[in-house]
A and B are shown apart, each in its own frame.
Chain A
Amino acid sequence: MEKTKYIVVNGKPVSIEVEEGKMVSINEQASSPKITKLSGREYEIVLNGKTIRGEVLKLKQNTCQILVNGNTYTFNIETEKSFKRAQKLAETMKETKLRLLAPLPGVICEVQVEKEQPVKKGDTLLILEAMKMQNEILSPMEGIITEISIKEGENVLKDQVLIEITPIS
């Protein structure tokens, strides 16, 4: 019998082997989780003696969004070959600059960085007020601020470019 190995990635990769359409091992250990379809997109999985309910929110190409207990997780389903390619791509992406977009329409309350300023991952860049909340917009990477496209007090639309960060090479 031919086994196909898939690598399912959401931060930490999980390797799952499939034989004749059934999962037979998880992270190199023999395991066949019991999967029951409850309705259209809802499933029940029995894993290590525990029952966990989940729902498939979206499947597009090899990207799948899952809802479990009100939490969402986005997984990429890769084969061994495509996983290597994805890793390589991620390396290259580290060196490309990033334009940060407004996640919601709102008002820029405060810009806490200046042009040419180096930032670390997780640093607060600016505060966007939307839906009566002050939302901190954090830097997703380490780099240098190369462009600030907004001003304090400015109204922004969804997906408007806020800030450009260039990695330090």
Chain B
Amino acid sequence: MIKSILIANRGEIAIRIAKTAKKMGIKTYAFLTHEEPNALYLESADEIIDVSAEKFTNIFMDVNRIVECAVENGVDAIHPGYGFLSENPYLPMECENKGVIFIGPSHVHIEQMGNKGKARELAIKCGVPVLQGSDGTISTLDEAKQVAEKVGYPVIIKAVAGGGGKGMRVVLTKDDLAKMYKAAINEAKSVFGNGAVFIEKYITKPRHVEVQVLADKHGNVVHLFDRECSIQRKHQKLMEEAPSPALSAEMRQVLGNDAVKLCQETGYYNAGTVEYLVEGDAHYFMEMNTRVQVEHPVTEAITGIDIIEQQIRIAAGEKLALKQDEIQINGSAIEFRVNAEDVQADFSPTTGIVEELTFPEAENLRVDSGFTSGKVIPACYDSLVAKVIVTGNTREEAVAASDALLESVKVRGIKTTIPFFRKVLTTGAFVSGNYFTDFIQTELDQLHYEQPDEQLAGAILALQAYLEELNSIGDSSLGDKEMNPWKMKQVLK
């Protein structure tokens, strides 16, 4: 039994975990850090562990300190959320050493799947299709040349330790191979401390489709169908939908079964995600994520299953109560990641005070937000502010409802990715469901939605504000003055 959980994360996912824990009658603990002493997630936890005096450490990356805090407070289990240490094998290892339950897989599974080379070999062993490529890692340029010739250009060189879109180099032609091979190894060494790489065939126009799985410690595995995540910039997802509009009923079954097979063969337990590249009716294993994903709500929306609850039950050693034939797809859901980013400046991050953040309320809308009005977005974490999940009985219905809902989100103080989503929602390739990972580069003429004449209206409004200001000069209402008192000292001298 798990009676208390230490949430080793922040932002919306910390709030998300606390919500399910509360529902299950589990007490939650959260970290108060010096970076975000007034963060919203602190309000969702039952108990606060104040580590704000530790100004030189990032608690969310400190395995020993996290487990130490769990032990000191007599907490039963640790939930890592996503990012930070969620896929670091040392956290479950240290948990095991100190007798704390880790809500996730064993360190062995994290190591297997965290190494892209090993994961690929496992997939081959389990009979899950992979892209044509090298047998194991590549150690010389000659070997790289041979493999590239065999599979044909373009190819991709991947660091075995890579992740999050890093440690990959695409080689379009033979002439680039030597340069890219060197660059990939150097990057892998400097970023991941492991220079091992392998080569795969590169698909130029794939779709990114992933399958959500749940596996318990007793060998039971089910899948919760698929998610489409092809809308990405720099290999980071921005929007996801479930189910994928790309799959036929047969393919859906094949992708799901392959994901289940991979978990069964490896004895995996926890929630997990098997990612594939899909081209036409072929699918290829890409990697497996051994944590809860940012985009898990779209799967929850169509299956009605609380994935965090399942993670907790699995960690506690319970048997899965879900049977594959009882899990159905019900409707369609789209998630929009509202990030603090300036889309007009090519998605550059923005920070600062969220002056206002209000979401509409509707039955077809779920909002998982890490912030409210008055909170501050710090520069030291990622840019995710909130996730807006829109559901419909059909995909058409969800797409049609999304624009009006996004338009009525009120945000002031920061810029967000909402103008980008409104642009996507008016783009034919997205509306028809026929889009690929190169969507942003090939389908959009500009990154943000713009209403006709909005710039002209802006100019008129700017002049209006200026004229109003001119008129109000001499008005008694202009009584507010600001002055720096140090200045007065200067004047008085």
Contacts and interface: CB of A to CB of B under 8 A. Distances in A.
A69 B464 contact: no
Contacts of B348: 103-104, 135
Interface in A75-114: 75, 77, 103-106
B466 to A, nearest CB: 5
Contacts of B458: 10, 54, 66, 68, 73, 75
Contact of A70 (B382, B419, B457): B419
B466 A130 contact: no
Contacts of B465: 56, 59, 64
Nearest to A8: B459
Contacts of B462: 8, 56, 59, 64, 66, 73, 75, 77
Interface string A4-31: 0010101010101010010100100000
Interface stretch (B12-20, B105-113, B172-180, B443-451): B443-451
Contacts of A103: 348
Given A54-B457, A71-B448, A131 B382 contact: yes
A47 B469 contact: no
A33 interface: yes
Contacts of B280: none
Given A70-B418, A131-B383, A133-B383, A35 B459 contact: no
Contact of A23 (B83, B412, B460, B469): B460
B419 A26 contact: no
A103 to B, nearest CB: 7
Contacts of A55: 412
Given A131-B379, A131-B382, A69 B450 contact: yes
Contact of A66 (B383, B448, B461, B471): B461
Interface in B448-489: 448-467, 469, 471
Contacts of B455: 10, 12, 68, 73
B236 interface: yes
Contact of A18 (B340, B416, B422, B467): B467
B192 interface: no
A169 interface: no
A55 B346 CA distance: 22
Nearest to B383: A131
Interface string B135-166: 00000000000000000000000000000100
B308 to A, nearest CB: 22
Contact of A69 (B346, B383, B412, B451): B451
Contacts of A18: 463, 467
Interface in A40-84: 43, 45, 47-48, 50, 52, 54-57, 59, 62, 64, 66-73, 75, 77
Interface in B202-242: 234, 236
Interface in A141-159: 158
Nearest to A48: B453
A69 B419 contact: yes
A133 B234 contact: yes
A134 interface: yes
B344 interface: yes
Contact of B451 (A16, A43, A52, A66): A52
Contacts of B346: 136
A120 to B, nearest CB: 17
B464 A35 contact: yes
A52 B454 contact: yes
B349 interface: yes
B381 interface: yes
Given A70-B418, A72-B344, A104-B349, A132 B383 contact: yes
Contact of A16 (B379, B382, B454, B463): B463
A158 B350 CA distance: 12
A12 B458 CA distance: 12
B58 interface: no
Q: Which of B347, B466, B467, B471 has the most CB of A within 10 A?
A: B466
Contact of A47 (B340, B351, B460): B460
Q: Which of B419, B422, B451, B463 has the most CB of A within 10 A?
A: B463
Contact of B463 (A23, A57, A106, A136): A23
A105 B463 CA distance: 35
Contacts of A75: 458-459, 462-463
A71 B449 CA distance: 8
Nearest to A57: B412
B453 A133 contact: no
Contacts of A73: 455, 458-459, 462
A62 B451 contact: no
Q: Which of B380, B461, B466 has the most CB of A within 10 A?
A: B461
A71 B407 CA distance: 12
Closest 10 CB pairs of A and B: A64-B462, A75-B462, A131-B349, A52-B457, A70-B419, A8-B459, A66-B458, A14-B459, A132-B382, A56-B465
Given A50-B452, A59-B465, A71-B450, 12 more contacts: A14-B459, A18-B467, A33-B460, A47-B456, A68-B457, A71-B454, A73-B458, A73-B462, A77-B462, A104-B348, A132-B83, A134-B234
